[in-house]
Amino acid sequence: MKYFNIEYISMATGLFLFLVGLWGIISQKNIIKIIISFSVLDTSIHLILVSIGYIRNKTAPIIDGVVSKTDAATKIVDPLPQALVLTAIVIGVGVTALMLTYALRMYSENKTLEINKYKSLKW
């Protein structure tokens, strides 16, 4: 039953988390909760990327005792997605921090975190 292989599980989880994140973003009224949902969304992407890079029973892409320069090609998982994830994580951190800051400002202005209280601009 291939679907019990680790990569399927992680991929499925990633996609599921993606939906969870989206759901949170569009359903939660509280801005902080929205931000949390966003980081769930973000994480789900990381998970997906990693599982994209995974190759069945291969090891980390580092040349050391286990993996030698010569047979690296046959022994390691795909290093590129990992590099991407690294970048993605940092970006996610930045964006989340930014959102929190905005939330902070909005709260200090209107003393509320209900997203639907901020509808002064419309139409």
| Residue numbers 39-68 binding other proteins by CB under 8 A | 41-42, 45, 48-49, 52, 54-56, 60-64
- Can residue 1 be called a binding residue for other proteins (CB under 8 A)? no
Give the residue with the Cβ less far from other proteins, 1 or 109.
Answer: 109
Residues numbered 13-42 forming contacts with other proteins, rule: CB under 8 A: 15, 18-19, 21-23, 25-27, 29, 31, 34, 38, 41-42
Element (DSSP H or E) covering residue 3: none
Q: Binding pattern to other proteins, positions 69-88, x when CB under 8 A?
A: x--xx--x-xxxxxxx-xxx
C-beta pairs of 37-43 under 8 Å, 24+ apart in sequence:
38/95, 38/96, 38/99, 39/92, 39/96, 41/17, 42/88, 42/92, 42/95, 42/96, 43/17, 43/92
